[in-house]
Amino acid sequence: MMYDVTLERDGKFWLIRIPELDGVTQARTHDEVPDMARDYIAITLDVPADSFEISVKTAW
């Protein structure tokens, strides 16, 4: 399964939107984004964080 993740800058944080799950989380740095997105998806779906792919796009 592939999840699309959209990033948006919000002050000091990156907002991470996962539309397929109607979810939003945040990361402090751009490098943290994939891990935070994976954690959110894994916890929400109760699946391992390595059981799916993500595609990250920045919204301007």
C-alpha to C-alpha distance for 54 and 33, rounded to whole angstroms: 11
How many domains are contained in the chain?
A: 1
Domain around 32: 2-58
Count Cβ atoms within 10 A of the Cβ of residue 36 and give its class: 0-12 exposed, 13-18 middle, 19 or more buried. Answer: middle
Residue 30, C-beta contacts closer than 8 angstroms, at least 6 positions apart: 7, 14
Domain containing 29 — which CATH number?
3.30.160.250
Per-residue pLDDT of the chain (60 residues; tens, 9 = 90+): 999 999 999 999 999 999 999 999 999 999 999 999 999 999 999 999 999 999 999 986
pLDDT for res 37: 98
pLDDT for res 59: 81
